[in-house]
Amino acid sequence: MAGNGKGTAEMELSYKDDPRMPCKYGAKCYQKNKNHHEKYKHPPKKTPEGRGVIRKVVDKDESCVASSAPSPEKSPEKKKIKLDTSDEEAEQITSSPSHSNASEPVVDDPENALPPSPEDVKESIKQKFLCEMPEDFYQFWDFCKNLSSDSPARALKEIGLMLVGPYDVLSGELKKVKHRDSSSYLRHWRYYFDPPEFQTIIKGDDKKQYHMGYYRDDPQEMPVFVACNSAAVSCTISPLAGNVFGAVNAYLNGILKSGDPFTKIKVPKYQNALKKWAEKEGISLEAKTAEMKARSKKVVSTTFHNAGIVVPCDKKSQVGYRELLEPDAQIKKILTSIMDSETEDKRKAAFSKLQPIVTAANIANDECDFGASLELGLDLFAFGGEPLHPIILQLLQAAYKLLNRPEFAVIIKAHLQDRKKGVDLSIVK
């Protein structure tokens, strides 16, 4: 800035007189897109770095901000809130400061493109998937590299497993991608029933579409457990263990109990290697950890996918979550009638029965019971069906932004843009 020959006062005056809209991210905005800078102006001085906060318009002298979780000591008052959000928030979340990489793919769509990948692999994963991976994620890569130095991602192929998703950053697979579209990275190995809370890291049987992934309630926190889902069978997400080592060990135990004979004979070799490595590194193989047990006490609803949801909730004042207007059985009945409707008129009539439930969840948001929209949105997502996608997006984007989980709002939007069944889920072609 100093090199342009203008003094601080002159630059501030120039900024004030600039007719363009001010960028809501101020001087910390690092967008290089030409269209962005033509539309928004940026202050000459840098502001302190910090995590973006979802802005809300609240009534004067009232407060009910999702980023301040209700506590037993002081329950938040129930006040009305109106969201003031835009696609620019999504643009900011999916872009991060990074270092140049000469081997970066060509940018085909500047409006939805990521900046060059950070040199640090952990930052590169966070840039593309919006969440950090826990330490056991990298430890398991080292274990697989020890089994197969040439191809760690396929080290467990004999027992039907392959490392995918964020592991493709470690393997270098994502360097083959010829574009930098942020949404496509978020869909990379995201199965049909994978909600934003679930990040696939291992694929298994293609017939059942079995896969494992990390499950976390907040994108800014580390996962609570590793779970599995068989997308061709159901939406059910089943917790396996507190880390990927324990999850794979549980998978191997399952093969020993009911797997085919040809796979069974290969299990001892890999299970012994897994246990030795875990023991050497001090990694627990427990199926249920203390963190998982603690979370189970915080779950306010099991949801259709059975993994449940956790939201800031004061049980004494009952602020944070309220039950849906109708029980699960009735909601499933309504959703079935929507999906089975043979004509547009019948579908509209079926949707009219769902609308009061949606309206009640939206009203709950006004009174700080954000868990209702989260539950209903995830239930509709778990039920599945493209006609439900607009309502799912509305419910979940509102819930995630009010809960200060904006990364999940970006993920659900990207997923619903191209939600696929089957196993053709890699962006590496």
Q: What is the pLDDT of residues 365-381, one digit of tens each?
A: 999 999 999 999 999 99
Shared-domain flag, residues 246 and 146:
yes
The number of CA neighbours under 13 Å toward the Cβ of 373 is 26
Binned at pLDDT 50, 70 and 90, residue 9 comes out as low
Active-site residue, from 12, 123, 367, 375: 367
Statement: residue 94 has pLDDT above 50: no
Overall number of domains in the chain: 2
What integer pLDDT is reported at residue 71 of this predicted model? 39
The larger pLDDT score, comparing residue 93 to residue 331, is at: 331
Binned at pLDDT 50, 70 and 90, residue 258 comes out as confident
Q: Is residue 328 part of a domain?
A: yes
Statement: residue 112 has pLDDT above 80: no
What integer pLDDT is reported at residue 42 of this predicted model? 75
- Is residue 367 part of the annotated active site? The answer reads yes
Shared-domain flag, residues 131 and 273:
yes
What integer pLDDT is reported at residue 66 of this predicted model? 37
Give residue-wise pLDDT tens across range 382-414: 999 999 999 999 999 999 999 999 999 999 999
Q: Is residue 425 part of a domain?
A: no
Binned at pLDDT 50, 70 and 90, residue 46 comes out as very low
In this prediction, residues 5-19 reach a mean pLDDT of 64
Shared-domain flag, residues 27 and 175:
no
What integer pLDDT is reported at residue 40 of this predicted model? 63
Shared-domain flag, residues 240 and 369:
yes
Residue where a domain terminates, one of 48, 69, 84? 48
Shared-domain flag, residues 154 and 293:
yes
Query: Which of 34-38, 81-85, 98-102, 309-313 has the weakest average pLDDT?
Result: 98-102
Q: Is residue 278 part of a domain?
A: yes
Statement: residue 219 has pLDDT above 60: yes
Shared-domain flag, residues 19 and 155:
no
Q: Is residue 423 part of a domain?
A: no
Amino acid in the structure at residue 133? M
Statement: residue 257 has pLDDT above 90: yes
Strands 238-241 and 198-203: unpaired
Shared-domain flag, residues 270 and 381:
yes
Shared-domain flag, residues 284 and 377:
yes
Would you say 238 and 227 are in contact if contact means Cβ atoms under 8 Å apart?
Answer: yes
Shared-domain flag, residues 36 and 128:
no
Give residue-wise pLDDT tens across range 260-271: 899 999 999 999
Q: Is residue 283 part of a domain?
A: yes
Would you say 284 and 246 are in contact if contact means Cβ atoms under 8 Å apart?
Answer: yes
Q: Please list the residues that pair with 40 across neighbouring strands.
A: 21
Torsion angle (degrees, nearest 10) of CA 342, 343, 346, 347: 90
Statement: residue 111 has pLDDT above 90: no
Residue where a domain terminates, one of 30, 48, 66? 48
What integer pLDDT is reported at residue 343 of this predicted model? 94
Domain hosting residue 126, numbered range: 110-417
Q: Is residue 250 part of a domain?
A: yes
The larger pLDDT score, comparing residue 244 to residue 80, is at: 244
Shared-domain flag, residues 41 and 121:
no
Binned at pLDDT 50, 70 and 90, residue 21 comes out as low
Shared-domain flag, residues 254 and 148:
yes
Statement: residue 73 has pLDDT above 80: no
HEC secondary structure over the chain: CHHHCCCHHHHHHHHHHCCCEECCCHHHCCCCCHHHHHHEECCCCCCCCCCCCCCEEECCCCCCCCCCCCCCCCCCCCCCEEECCCHHHHHHHCCCCCCCCCCCCCCCCHHHECCCCCCCHHHHHHHHHCCCCCHHHHHHHHHHHHHCCCCHHHCCHHHCCEECCCHHHHHCHHHHCCCCEHHHHHHCCCCCCCCCCEEEEEECCCCCCEEEEEECCCCCCCCCEEEEEECCCCCCCEEEECCHHHHHHHHHHHHHHHCCHHHHCCHHHHHHHHHHHHHHHCCCCCCCCHHHHHHHCCCCECCCCCCCECCCCECCCCECCCCCCCCHHHHHHHHHHHHHCCCHHHHHHHHHHHHHHHHHHHHHHHCCCCHHHHHHHHHHHHHCCHHHHHHHHHHHHHHHHHCCCHHHHHHHHHHHHCCCCCCCCCCCC
What integer pLDDT is reported at residue 192 of this predicted model? 98
Shared-domain flag, residues 142 and 20:
no
What integer pLDDT is reported at residue 330 of this predicted model? 98
The whole-chain average pLDDT of the chain stands at: 84
Statement: residue 86 has pLDDT above 80: no
User: With b meaning 16 or more CB within 10 Å and e meaning fewer, what string describes 174-188?
Assistant: beebebbbbbbbbbb
pTM of the predicted model as reported, rounded to 2 decimal places: 0.77
Query: Which of 10-14, 87-91, 96-100 has the weakest average pLDDT?
Result: 96-100
Highest mean pLDDT among 13-27, 65-79, 95-109: 13-27
Q: Is residue 311 part of a domain?
A: yes
Q: Is residue 370 part of a domain?
A: yes
Would you say 334 and 342 are in contact if contact means Cβ atoms under 8 Å apart?
Answer: no
